[in-house]
Structure 1
Amino acid sequence: MDPTARRRRTVLIAATAVGLILLLLIGVGVYGLTRGPQTTEPARPDGPTATNPAHVPAEPEAVVTLGGSEKFAGAVAEALFTWDTTSGYGPADYAQMLADVTADTEADAAASDVRSYLPTQEAWTQLRTHQTRQWLTIDTIEIPAAWEDAVVQAAPGQIPDGAVAYTITGTRHRTGYWGTDPVTTTHPVAFTVFLTCTPERTSAPAPAAPITETCAVLRLSQLDNPLR
């Protein structure tokens, strides 16, 4: 992308970020960002005890920003929910993977969003005594009707080019030990990822695509309070 055009795009995103957030907060009305309750111990099993499968500790992994907006939204979702207290890393290390793919103009706000999805350091310390780990299986990734309505109603320039929202539904899995007994719990989750993707021309030779999209996170909805 031409450097001048890139600077114009950056200015546009910075100038319209407030408008975007206000649109989502006021116009749509369900873009909650309050901090949710933190779990300080692994949930006791509701039914028969399940065996914790052998696994390799899930280390923080970089989020791939290429491949299109829907694929990126899925990668963000998995990064939000995949962590392992036996890996030797902490919640800040997993959060950093998402900070690395967040738009600069929304860095502070998005960091707060991410923290609301992860255990606090105090909770992490307690969860580590139970060898707790977590991951997500995704059921659906869809652009919600509320976002499409917001785009139609927005004034010209109010939403940055390439901005889109995906509402994701799935199941959060958590395993660990309660005393000496291995346990597994599951919980349905739903949330919305707000992101932006910028097309860029590549210098890779054919048959590689001459244009690729690089995506970045704008904001996250409150867990279980997504756009519909």
Structure 2
Amino acid sequence: MPGAHLLSMSPAASDPRTRRRTVALIAAGVVLLLLAGVGIYGLLTGPRTTLNTDPDSEPGRAATTPTSPPTAPKPPHVASVPRSADPETFAQGVAATLFAWDTASGRWPLDYTSAILAVGDPSGDEQAGLASDVAAYLPNREAWIELRQYATRQHLTIDAAHVPAAWADAVEQAQPGQLAPGTTAITIEGTRHRAGVWNGQSVTSEHPVAFTVFVVCAPTYPTCHLLRLSQLDNPLR
């Protein structure tokens, strides 16, 4: 009987096959563990190489250059205010930078605000007020999103820059120590230009503007810094 035959087999006859099966099972288990480990490692680290798809290259060879994920292009850099020790030159640089923005650039109003605040008075005394002044010149976030639909952009052409006559009266009336040495005001007169796309057509507009830039230069600082801005279209005359 087959059962009797199996029962009658001696341990010496069955041990080699049992050992072979055990060794085979252990080896298979080790292979599975290795494959699982490699799979998990690949998920954690990503591909190390890419296949060579050049038809003229040797079949089956792999490229040795590691792959890297594609990166989104960075938005254009926001222009900085040119530094100058001359109050009028510096004020014109502030004005041009303040009015130069592009809603299609990928930047936000705060990016343009930061460019102006970067040349603020290092003492920080006027920083909060200056931030408020600049915000009044730029569209808020909601308006920016709306203007972005039309790829609206803006720049300023400066027609005149001068120290207003009213500044002499302001200096005379200031209390001792109220104005740092080298503080002055420059009134800017110019034209604001806007352009965009409406119903697939390019559109432009122009608007005269005037405002005053308050700066502090030498001897307080070796180069000029921005203190405050007047309200738009409400300059010192």
Q: What TM-score does the superposition give when structure 1 sets the normalisation length?
A: 0.67
Distance 2:106 2:141 in 1: 13
Higher normalized contact order (CA 8 Å, seq sep 6+, divided by chain length): 1
SS in 1 for 2:197: strand
Q: Match for residue 132 of structure 2?
A: 112
**Which 5+ residue runs of structure 1 have no aligned equivalent?**
1-56, 201-211
Q: Match for residue 62 of structure 1?
A: 80
Shift in CA distance, 164/58, structure 1 to aligned 2, threshold 3 Å = farther
**Which 5+ residue runs of structure 2 have no aligned equivalent?**
1-74
Number of residue-to-residue matches in the alignment = 161
Distance 1:176 1:67 in 2: 36
Q: Match for residue 188 of structure 1?
A: 208
Confirm whether residue 223 of structure 1 aligns to residue 227 of structure 2: no
Distance 1:80 1:59 in 2: 14
Distance 1:196 1:62 in 2: 18
Distance 1:80 1:152 in 2: 30
Alignment of 1:68-79 (within 5 A): 68-79=86-97
Q: 1:178 aligns with which of 180, 189, 198?
A: 198
Distance 1:154 1:138 in 2: 30
SS in 2 for 1:213: coil
1:226 is aligned with what amino acid?
P
Which is richer in helix?
2
Q: 1:168 aligns with which of 158, 163, 188?
A: 188
Q: What TM-score does the superposition give when structure 2 sets the normalisation length?
A: 0.65
Distance 2:157 2:95 in 1: 9
Distance 2:126 2:90 in 1: 17
Deviations 1:122-163 (A, max 9, x none): 111111110100000000001001111111233332211010
Deviations 1:43-71 (A, max 9, x none): xxxxxxxxxxxxxx974111122241111
Which is richer in strand?
1
SS in 1 for 2:223: strand
Distance 1:125 1:158 in 2: 41
Q: 1:133 aligns with which of 144, 153, 158?
A: 153
Deviations 1:141-197 (A, max 9, x none): 010011111112333322110100000000000000111111000000000000101
Q: 1:87 aligns with which of 88, 96, 105?
A: 105
Q: How large is the Cα RMSD of the aligned pairs?
A: 1.6
**CA drift at 1:74:** 0.3
Q: Match for residue 43 of structure 2?
A: none
- Assess if the C-alpha contact under 8 Å between 2:183 and 2:217 holds in 1: yes
Larger gyration radius, structure 1 or structure 2: 2
